[in-house]
């Protein structure tokens, strides 16, 4: 499998998860009341795992998820996996935010599990958020591609498109955009490509250099995962293009199961 876990996993339904969660949250509140809110994340992780294990539940820390495709690989680590079915991400932040939610969804999708929770020990009272998904690997592989406005300026554009499709066929869509970006940068090892500083000219002045993903000295690619305001986003890519000596930018947008490939030119 292209995405593997260091232990065998067993997806469960929402009712079963909430039965487990009642026990986990009871321990989380007890820990917060007994040792306070100013300890490091790893200490909360260790203490919660210990107490969950005493409750006759299986608790494993730092369980690895391994994403690979051809010569690329990257590892992620689940803070706490309970009964091989429920993911818990522990935080010591001022408050939970969208990044924490996206990270937990990412882990659920990588593990092909359904339910998890984020627990934040830093606030005055324990903060938590239930995270769930109905997407499994088969659904995430059932994506559609709109490539009506994609132009293969040269062979490199075709290679970019084929490499992306190979990744999506392997991993499916809906994972964190940065994982696809890192994989493409690794796999597209062209002599003049990669993450390269590009000159930015404003009103004829060299204003600086910005790192961009290049295919060739005159063609870049840009990957996003936006779900709305597509025209505004495109307009801003075009503004960036106009400030460079590049001829085109291949824009890849991963909008859940809808993938759009578009070539923007001067």
Give the model confidence (pLDDT) of 226-246 as tens digits: 999 999 999 999 999 999 999
Looking at the structure, tell me whether residues 155 and 256 fall in a common domain: yes
Q: Which of 134, 163, 196 is a domain's end point?
A: 134
Do 178 and 107 fall within a single domain?
Answer: no
Say whether pLDDT at 191 is over 80: no
Confidence band for 1, pLDDT divided at 50, 70 and 90:
low
Using one digit for the tens of pLDDT, what is the confidence trace for 72-84?
999 999 999 999 9
In a shared domain, residues 100 and 161: no
Whether 115 and 229 share a structural domain: no
Q: Name the domain boundary from 107, 134, 161.
A: 134
List helix spans (H) across the chain: 14-35, 41-54, 98-111, 137-140, 155-171, 177-187, 230-242
93 and 80 co-located in one domain: yes
3-state SS of 126-157 is CEEEEEECCCCHHHHCCCEEEEEECCCCCHHH
194-198, 222-226, 228-232: least confidently modelled range: 194-198
Is 194 within 8 Å of 255 (Cβ atoms)? no
pLDDT in tens, 34-88: 999 999 999 999 999 999 999 999 999 999 999 999 999 999 999 999 999 999 9
Q: Residue 27 has what pLDDT?
A: 99
Whether residue 220 has pLDDT greater than 90: yes
Same domain, 130 and 145: no
- With b for 16 or more beta-carbon neighbours within 10 A and e for fewer, the 217-228 pattern comes to eebbbbbbbeee
- pLDDT(15) > 70: yes
Residue 193, pLDDT score: 74
Task: Say if residue 118 is in the same domain as residue 157.
Answer: no
Mean pLDDT of the chain: 97
Instruction: Give the whole-angstrom CA distance, residue 174 versus residue 185.
Output: 19
What is the spatial distance between Cα 236 and Cα 5, in angstroms, rounded to a whole number? 39
Number of domains forming the structure of the chain: 2
> CATH no. for residue 11?
3.40.1350
Tokens found for residue 205 = 């002045």
Q: Are residues 164 and 122 in the same domain?
A: no
pLDDT at 211: 96
Domain containing residue 240: 139-265
Q: pLDDT tens across 116-155, in order?
A: 999 999 999 999 999 999 999 999 999 999 999 999 998 9
The predicted pLDDT at position 68 comes to 98
Which residue reads 């690979």 in tokens? 68
Same domain, 19 and 115: yes
Instruction: Look at the alpha carbons of 55, 57, 60, 61 in this order and tell me if their dihedral is positive or negative.
Output: negative
Given 99, 134, 169, which residue is the final one in a domain? 134
Q: Quick one: 164 and 91 in the same domain?
A: no
- Contact 41/73 with Cβ under 8 angstroms? no
Same domain, 14 and 108: yes
pLDDT, residue 266, reads 93
Same domain, 117 and 27: yes
């Amino acid at each position: 499998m292209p995405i593997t876990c260091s232990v065998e996993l067993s997806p469960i339904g929402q009712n079963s998860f909430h039965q487990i969660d009642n026990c986990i949250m009871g321990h989380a509140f007890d820990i917060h009341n007994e040792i306070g809110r100013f300890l490091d994340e790893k200490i909360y992780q260790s203490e919660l795992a210990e107490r969950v294990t005493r409750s006759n539940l299986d608790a494993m820390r730092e369980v690895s998820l391994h994403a690979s495709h051809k010569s690329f690989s990257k590892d992620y680590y689940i803070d706490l996996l309970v009964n091989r079915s429920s993911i818990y991400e522990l935080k010591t932040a001022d408050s939970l935010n969208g990044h924490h939610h996206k990270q937990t969804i990412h882990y659920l999708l990588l593990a092909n599990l359904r339910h998890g929770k984020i627990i934040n020990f830093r606030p005055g009272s324990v903060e938590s958020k239930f995270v769930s998904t109905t997407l499994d690997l088969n659904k995430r592989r059932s994506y559609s591609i709109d490539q009506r406005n994609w132009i293969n300026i040269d062979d490199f554009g075709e290679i970019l498109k084929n490499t992306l499709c190979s990744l999506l066929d392997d991993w499916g869509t809906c994972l964190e955009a940065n994982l696809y970006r890192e994989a493409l940068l690794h796999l597209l090892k062209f002599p003049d490509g990669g993450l390269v500083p590009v000159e930015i000219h404003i009103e004829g002045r060299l204003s600086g250099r910005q790192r961009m993903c290049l295919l060739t000295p005159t063609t870049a690619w840009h990957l996003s995962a936006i779900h709305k305001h597509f025209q505004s986003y495109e307009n801003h890519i075009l503004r960036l293009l106009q400030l460079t000596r590049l001829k085109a930018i291949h824009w890849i947008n991963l909008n859940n199961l809808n993938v759009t490939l578009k070539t923007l030119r001067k």
